[in-house]
Amino acid sequence: MNSSISRRLILWLAIPLMLMALCGALIHYFNHIAPSVISSDRRLKDATASLMAHVVVREGRFALDSSPARDPPLPRADAIRYAVHDSRGQLLDGDAQLPAVAIDGESSQLLALAQLDGRSVRTLSTRFGSPAGVITITAADLKGGAEPEARLGFMSTLLWDFVQLDITLVLVWLGIQLGLRPIRRLRDEIGSRSPSDLRPIVETSVPREIAPVVVTLNRLFGTLRSSVQSQQQFIADTAHQLRTPITGMQAQLGVLINEPAAQPIKARLLTLQEGVKQLAHSANQLLSLARADSAANSSAKNQSVDLQTIVNEVAAKFFDRALQSNIDLGVDATPVNTRADPSLLDDLLSNLVDNALKYTPAGGTVTVTAGEKNGRPFLAVEDSGAGIPVEERQRVRQRFYRMPNSPAHGSGLGLAIVDEIARLYDASMTIESGANGAGTRVCILFAARSVK
C-alpha cells in the first residue's frame, strides 16, 4: 500500500516537535520547580531532625523539650508547623490542623501534600520508636507554599505547549496540502488525458522540485509517440503501396474475364476478382485506420464541415451498389456544421454505410441522417438488417472483431475506424436498435463546443 507524502512529513515533524516540547518541559521543571522542591525537602528533613532531638520521655509519657539550650534549636514557627501523633493517630503535641498520616511498615518517612489554612503545603511524616512507644512527627513547610502553584503552572505550560504543537501540526498540514497542489494538478492533467494523448507536459508550469519527473515523463511520452507514429506510418505506407498493384490487378482481371478464351474459367476468375476487391477494401480500411488514429493524428485538419454535404457525397458513392443489392438507400439531412477533417468524416460515414449495406438483405432499407440534437451535430446510419445483439455492441468496436456467424465478408475494421475518428473529435458513438426494435442504428454525436 502506497504511503502518503503529507502523512510522512507530518510524522517526521510531529516526533521531533513532541520531543522538543518534552525536553522544554523537563528543562522548565528542573530550572524552576525542582530547586524549590529540593529546598523544601531539605528544610523538612532538618526540621524533623530538630524535633526528634527535642523529644523526651518523662514518667513514661512523651514530651517535647522546648529549651533553647538543646541543639539543634526548634524550627521557627513561621517557617515550620508540626504535629506529633501516637501509634493510634491521637495528637500528642503541635498543630491539630495537620492530619495524621498513615505510613506503611516498609518505610519510616513519607512526603505528601496537605491542606493548611486553605493552601497546599508540602509535608514530611517521620515514624520512629521511643520509650513511650511509636510516634509520628509531621512537619509542614510554610515557605514552600508556592510549590503546588508552581506545579500547576508547570502543567498549564506543558498543556499549552502541546496545544501549540497541535496547532503547529495543523498549520504545517495545511501548508503541505497547499504545497502539494501543483502535484495534484499534474496528476489531474495526466489522469484526464486519453490513452492516446501523448502531448508533452508544459515544464514551466510545474515547480522545480518535480520538474525532473515531468522531464522524464515527457521523454517517455516522446518515445511512445514516436513508436506509435512509426507503427501508423508503417501501416499507412504498406496500405498505400498495396493500393496501386491491387488496382492494377482488378483492372486486368476485369479485362481477362471478358476475353473469350477465359470463359471456361470465368467462375474462378470472378471468385478471384471478388477476393482482390476484398483485399483492396481491406487495404483502404488499413489506410483509413492509420489516418484516424488519434495518437498519430494530433495535427489533424480542423475546419468547418457541412455534414449535409458529406452525407450527400457518401450516399452518391454507394447509390449504384444499393441498386444492385435491391436496397433502398435514403438520405435525411439538414445543414449543420462541425469542425473536423472532411476526409476523415468521409471515411467515417463510408464505413457506416458500407457496413449497413453489407448486413442488410435485399429489399431492406438504409437511411443516412444528419442534423442537430440538443445543440450538438450528429451523423446516423440506420438499417433494417439483423441487428447487433446488446452483448456484442461493445466488442464490435474492437479492431478485427467480427460477430460469430456473420453472413457478410469483412475484416472487422469498419466500426473500429468509426470509433477512432469519433474519439479523435471528442464525439460519442452509440449503437442501438433501429425503428421498432429491428436492425441497427449507429449515431455519432459531436461535441457542442466544436460547432461554429
256 lies in the same domain as 360: no
Range of the structural domain that residue 122 is part of: 5-154
CATH number of the domain residue 239 falls in: 1.10.287.130
Flag whether 181 is in a domain. no
What number of residues does the chain have?
452
pLDDT at 442: 94
Flag whether 75 is in a domain. yes
pLDDT at 324: 92
Nine-digit cell at 234? 508503417
249 lies in the same domain as 357: no
- Burial of 178 per CB tally in 10 Å (0-12, 13-18, 19+): exposed
Q: Look at the chain and report how many structural domains it folds into.
A: 3
Flag whether 227 is in a domain. yes
Flag whether 174 is in a domain. no
356 lies in the same domain as 446: yes
pLDDT at 363: 92
33: DSSP letter: I
112 lies in the same domain as 149: yes
CA atoms within 13 A on the CB side of 10: 18
pLDDT at 202: 83
Q: Does residue 264 have a cis peptide bond before it, meaning omega lies within 30 degrees of 0?
A: no
Flag whether 242 is in a domain. yes
User: Among 264, 288, 312, where does a domain finish?
Assistant: 288
**Are the C-beta atoms of residues 349 and 396 closer than 8 Å to each other?**
no
User: Among 122, 154, 186, where does a domain finish?
Assistant: 154
Distance CA(61)–CA(87), nearest Å, equals 14
pLDDT in tens, 22-51: 887 777 777 766 777 778 788 888 888 887
CB neighbours of residue 380 within 10 Å: 22
**Are the C-beta atoms of residues 137 and 48 closer than 8 Å to each other?**
yes
- The closest alpha carbon to 359, from 392, 331, 333, 325, belongs to 325
pLDDT at 452: 43
Flag whether 71 is in a domain. yes
131 lies in the same domain as 230: no
pLDDT at 450: 43
Positions of the chain with pLDDT under 70: 1-3, 32-33, 59-61, 63, 65, 67-70, 105-107, 130-132, 144-154, 194-196, 232, 235-236, 239-240, 243, 289-301, 405-411, 449-452
User: Among 248, 267, 288, where does a domain finish?
Assistant: 288
pLDDT at 133: 74
DSSP-derived 3-state class of residue 119:
strand
417 lies in the same domain as 307: yes
240 lies in the same domain as 337: no
Distance CA(143)–CA(121), nearest Å, equals 9
**Are the C-beta atoms of residues 445 and 430 closer than 8 Å to each other?**
yes
320 lies in the same domain as 433: yes
Distance CA(238)–CA(240), nearest Å, equals 5
404 lies in the same domain as 308: yes
Flag whether 202 is in a domain. no
DSSP-derived 3-state class of residue 430:
strand
265 lies in the same domain as 231: yes
DSSP-derived 3-state class of residue 452:
coil
306 lies in the same domain as 216: no
CATH number of the domain residue 322 falls in: 3.30.565.10
Flag whether 193 is in a domain. no
394 lies in the same domain as 431: yes
Cut 0.75: pTM above it: no
pLDDT at 30: 73
Residue given cell 468509426 in the structure block: 418
